[in-house]
Amino acid sequence: MLNGVAPIIIVHLYNKTFLNAAASASNFPIIADVANLIGIPIPIYLDEKLTGIYVESQTRAIDIETKAQPRYDGKPPIVDQNGVNSLVTVNLFARNDSILLTALLALCDMIFQKLVSKEYAISYLNKSTVVLGGLLHGFQTTEGSDDDLTRIILQISKASQESTTPQGAVSVLPKITGATPVPVG
């Protein structure tokens, strides 16, 4: 929630085939570029009074892989680090009769179909936690037998960004001209 009514999840759905066809038909490729950037935004407000969905808690975790290469000359080890994942976990409660709970479950099913093509993105805004253009990392629902609540665990990953691993340098040997190979043996 950034000066808004309530915490919000925005699911952006893209259809690159449709957008490219629309751009070529309309001769306005900039429209397709903007639509592809934004996608079709579907907001879901997470307000108990408004939608019946309530944010219980949220956590942020950054996983880093650290490899230390020991050196035997008395110098400090060489340390390499790679970003593994930046993950936001949101724990939600929803009333079973909430229409937007049904919409959220349907959206997660639609996202599951678009996982390989990456034609979706998830944005989440609540207090100091802001995720823009994330990917679905995990989604779990549990219904209690003694109440009318559905407990939801939503995990959003920022691993959609470029890799933090630097590309290895390619060494190029200088070309030698005028030399004759010498047979060995």
Give mean pLDDT in consecutive 10-residue pieces for the chain, a chain of 185 residues: 74 71 54 58 88 92 90 89 91 91 90 86 91 92 90 88 50 67 72
What pLDDT shows up at residue 20? Answer: 57
Look at residues 49, 28, 53, 65 and name the one whose alpha carbon lies nearest to residue 124: 53
What pLDDT shows up at residue 5? Answer: 73
What pLDDT shows up at residue 125? Answer: 93
User: Could you tell me the pTM of the whole model?
Assistant: 0.69
Domains and CATH numbers, the chain: 8-157 (2.40.30)
What pLDDT shows up at residue 163? Answer: 46
Tokens at residue 60, please?
A: 């942020």
Tokens at residue 105, please?
A: 């479950």
What pLDDT shows up at residue 2? Answer: 47
Q: What is the DSSP letter of 158?
A: -
What pLDDT shows up at residue 16? Answer: 66
Only one residue has tokens 């005028």, namely 178
Residues 167 and 102: their CA atoms lie apart, in Å, by 44
